[in-house]
Amino acid sequence: MAVLKLHLDEFDEVDYQLIAIHSTLEDYRLAYFINKRLPIRLEKKPDEVSVKVKEGEAFFSKFFFDDLGNDIQWTLIPNKNEITIKRKSTGQNLFLNTDVEIATKVYLLSELKKVDYFLKIENNIDTFAIDSVLKSLNSIERISTVYAVEPEKIKSKNNLIF
């Protein structure tokens, strides 16, 4: 009888590139400026990316473009979101036993808290150089800085599976 072995290392292969974007722009405005600079058409998708954290579940908006000619998928997603948690007030104070709403910041990739947005490029196999994309994004006036992130070094990279 033949023995079949599966190596799980084959499934851990990273097939995307990740660009970190620092900008104060709203997500829809940033998508607009990226569309003007790059030959892509990012569109907001109704399905959001959900991430479970200890405080609850956070939802991140997603802008997506599927380049069918080159078989490349582009996704723009914010790194920061705010969720509101309702808790009962405890302790000796004026608002004893009342519901209190507490706002908490949640990050898609918590080890990169200073990053505002990520641009995920999937299936880019020698189609174009990532440096040209970085240069085009850096020329957008309201973006302060742009750089490539190595996905292998990210601990919470499971949040990028969507």
pLDDT tens by residue, 114-125: 999 999 999 877
pLDDT of residue 10: 47
Retrieve residue 16's tokens: 């995307």
Question: Rounded CA gap, 70 and 124, in Å?
Answer: 8
pLDDT of residue 121: 93
pLDDT of residue 13: 60
pLDDT of residue 125: 72
Burial of 125 per CB tally in 10 Å (0-12, 13-18, 19+): exposed
pLDDT of residue 80: 92
Burial of 67 per CB tally in 10 Å (0-12, 13-18, 19+): middle
Segments of the chain scoring below 50 in pLDDT: 10-11
Question: Rounded CA gap, 160 and 98, in Å?
Answer: 38
Q: Tally the residues of the chain.
A: 162
